[in-house]
Structure 1
Amino acid sequence: MRFGYFLSCEEYSPTEIVEQAVAAEKAGFEALWISDHYHPWNDEQGNSPFVWGMIGALSQATSLPITTAVTCPTVRIHPAVIAQAAATAAVQTGGRFTLGVGTGEALNEHVLGDVWPSADVRLEMLEEAVDLIRELWKGEEVTWDGKHYETDTARIYTRPDQAPPIYVSAFGPKALDLAARIGDGFINTAPDADAVSTFKDKSGGKPAQGGVKVAWAETEDEGIDHAHRLWATAGLPGELAQVLPSPHHFEQASQLVTRDATADSIVAGPDIDKHIAQLQEYVDAGYDEVYVANMGPNYLAMIETYGRDALPQLR
């Protein structure tokens, strides 16, 4: 069982992200997740540094493995470019890089004016993108004439000795089937034992990573306030997170999410037993790795306390 720290590019500046990663390694976290966004979910979060620049910085600041959670290699950035970026990241980290991929959100992928495809088409695009990425990682010239993508004598020269694993994020049965078929692992953000079990059964026991957010603060109320101010968008139901196109739309929709609803959905405040119990839900669900992010300004206190009190108990 491995416990990692989740770096939220939507909420923190490049300097803060590196600060968190260094503190997480010192505290005993064993790996890093990092989000890949063009926009934050809302203006209050206020950040969105380029993930590939951040991975380069992190590779020099820490020795922890890094997974993108997750990159969408289908619309905003062509999979041939993602293949090059991920190969470079794997070299920079000495082979400690995992490419986490998913079908993405309109929030990030519509910015070049592309039509946002239906869910079924996005899954189809993701499968072709992963095939193309793996082909390019072989190091030969690739001329590709697919349904969704083309390349003309493309070749990646800077490559790691071994191609990075590709983990696939999945929500829903169709995506889960795809993840089990094409992924080297599974990514999810809920303590969903059924999804983990289904993935492992269909994939032959491949690993699963889970992620969760908490709001560390001196009091529970303060933590809830931070979470609701910054991440009320996480409480939106159904497919809204995949189809709303801008932070302003998320802000409008999240007005329907009450503070009480946020309070019911998160762990906030300083009660370490509650934090441990939440992570234990992910352990019990069958995940092989669990990544935890902090919401709000108290990330250093959260990282230090987890390292001292939570991680030893969980291990």
Structure 2
Amino acid sequence: MLIKRPRPGDSAGILPSQITAEGTYLSRRTLLQAALAAGVTGIGAAWPEPASATTDLTFKRNEAFSTTEAPNSYEDVTGYNNFYEFGTGKSDPAANSGRFKPTPWTVTISGEAETTGKFTLEDFLKPHALEERVYRLRCVEAWSMVIPWVGVPLGDVLKRFKPTSKAKYVAFKTVMRPSEMPGQRYAVLDWPYVEGLRIDEAMNPLSLLAVGVYGKTLPNQNGAPLRLVTPWKYGFKGIKSIVEISFTEKEPPTSWNISASHEYGFYANVNPNVDHPRWSQARERRIGAGLFNARIPTQMFNGYEKEVAGLYRGMDLAKNY
């Protein structure tokens, strides 16, 4: 099990607010109650194996798309996660993902495109060179990190499949493996997890298909072997362990919108001027920022306004949240 250790000068270690974020829609208690009803003493107790090993990647840093802010530690990035397929607590993904097998892996391409079918991960990513981009990630629960992702531009990959003029959206689906992903055994969400982008959002140069973090392949708890990163959107718009990508004419369903449409819309853009129904989005807590994890002002589009604001020109960003 990955154990997060206090940093030098951080004598109090992990704060209670870091363990369970405020206002979580579906609490860890829901999952634990379901586990107890099934005769399990705890998800972690049933799935004690450590997360899979990672390997080094070959890549180049893309400075043009990287923030100059200092990245969080590897321990922060891999030990504090939302990945409900492995549990609703922030430490659950690291503790409960050991049985997940990210290799071999295939990705299915379907829908409104000239080239469709099932591809191995290697064929899916060819011939794209890996690059590192240091992005901010801002969660709707009002915490944030700075993360050095390794991956390939999503738009470059999608163009290879030649989407037709009917392709207005891109839909994504997570693998469904309850035998390896214990959270999928409980109805905390409508499984499998699904997500979507408008096609111009998907083609934006910031959109990334990540295969690694900190120069290594993605650990299971971070979405191995393939996940979406859209840095101007809230963290739940970063679907993990992707097995299917579909080009659609109509807006696709998304998991959090299905579960709570009054709280989670399709766009999920970071907007400090639009509060979550149960808490403010005006400020955020930077994980690993010291003893008190001081709150800092939330930036419009998470600081990427220059790069993406044009995508939403003329839209009501309070209504289209």
Q: Same fold (TM over 0.5)?
A: no
User: Which bracket does the TM-score occupy, shorter chain normalised?
Assistant: under 0.3
TM-score, normalised by the number of residues in structure 2: 0.22
